[in-house]
Amino acid sequence: MAELNILPVPTRILTDADDIVDAIEYYAGAQVTADDLVCCAESVVAVTQGRFVRPEELHISGMAKFLCRFIPDYGSLATPHGMQSLMEVEGKWRVTAALFAGFLGKLVGKKGLFYQWGGKEAALIDDVTGTMPPFDKVIVYGPAEPEQVATRIRDRVGAFGGMIADVNDLKRSRVVGVSEGVNGALAAQLLLDNPFGNASQKTPICIIKNYRQYQESNRT
């Protein structure tokens, strides 16, 4: 079997003036084959779509100040700005109810109910410092239509597949969007060491070389 290898791809700072598919073609296209899986960090996709808000543009409610206290300190919703940004898009009562349900769930040993019921943005929002400069000063939402973006990436560069992933340094890796035919859960496991560099490294794209063969050899 061909060797599996994860290749981070450096770029310049990508902004909302860029199209993520154009950028991937420009920076990574020449290195991609039909056996590869091309992955991109979800926050960078969202930035190129203009899906972010500046903290000073938010009106922070008393409810946001209260609810954020129940989020672990390392979470993006642990600040009033992060919590308010979620309430703006998912609704304050939905977020409040989900947080209450999450609290009750923990009492009976069920975890993750808040992120399950609080709307898709609950798990995707990146608070300030959560992504690359200069966008470390804004709150970034999840990307729009991630499956379609992943498919466009695949088709543009002629890869086996495309994937948008949410990965961090806490050994958490989840699929946000993936093109048809790709085992996203299997690919996400390969990204647990977070090969993306969204800060000074400027490597928001990575290519999993020879992923097609790897997926075929791991069929159950």
Structural domain boundaries in the chain: 5-51+142-218, 53-139
d(CA 57, CA 80): 13
Q: Which of 43-57, 142-156, 167-181: highest mean pLDDT?
A: 142-156
d(CA 206, CA 89): 30
pLDDT at 129: 61
d(CA 167, CA 196): 8
- Name the pLDDT band for 168 (thresholds 50, 70, 90): confident
pLDDT at 107: 85
d(CA 67, CA 84): 9
d(CA 109, CA 200): 39
Could you tell me if 198 and 44 are in contact, meaning their C-beta atoms sit under 8 angstroms apart? yes
- Name the pLDDT band for 113 (thresholds 50, 70, 90): confident
Tokens of 72: 């672990």
**pLDDT greater than 70 at residue 1:** no
Q: What is the pTM of this model?
A: 0.86
**pLDDT greater than 60 at residue 130:** no
13, 17, 20, 23: CA torsion to nearest 10: -60
Q: What is the pLDDT averaged over residues 163-167? A: 93
Q: Which of 54-68, 147-161, 191-205: highest mean pLDDT?
A: 147-161
Which range (26-30, 67-71, 147-151, 179-183) has the least confidence? 67-71
Architecture label for domain 5-51+142-218: 2-Layer Sandwich (3.30)
- What does DSSP assign to residue 192? T
In 3-state terms, what secondary structure has residue 87? helix
Q: What is the pLDDT averaged over residues 97-114? A: 88
d(CA 157, CA 152): 9
Q: For 95-105, write each residue's pLDDT tens digit.
A: 999 999 988 88
Query: In sequence order, what are the residues at sequence separation of 6 or more whose Cβ sits closer than 8 angstroms to the Cβ of residue 215?
Result: 182, 183, 186, 187
Q: What is the pLDDT averaged over residues 49-72? A: 93
Mean pLDDT across the chain: 90
- In the chain, the percentage of residues whose pLDDT exceeds 90 is 66
In 3-state terms, what secondary structure has residue 48? helix
Pairing state between β 172-178 and 5-9: unpaired
d(CA 36, CA 160): 5
pLDDT at 202: 75
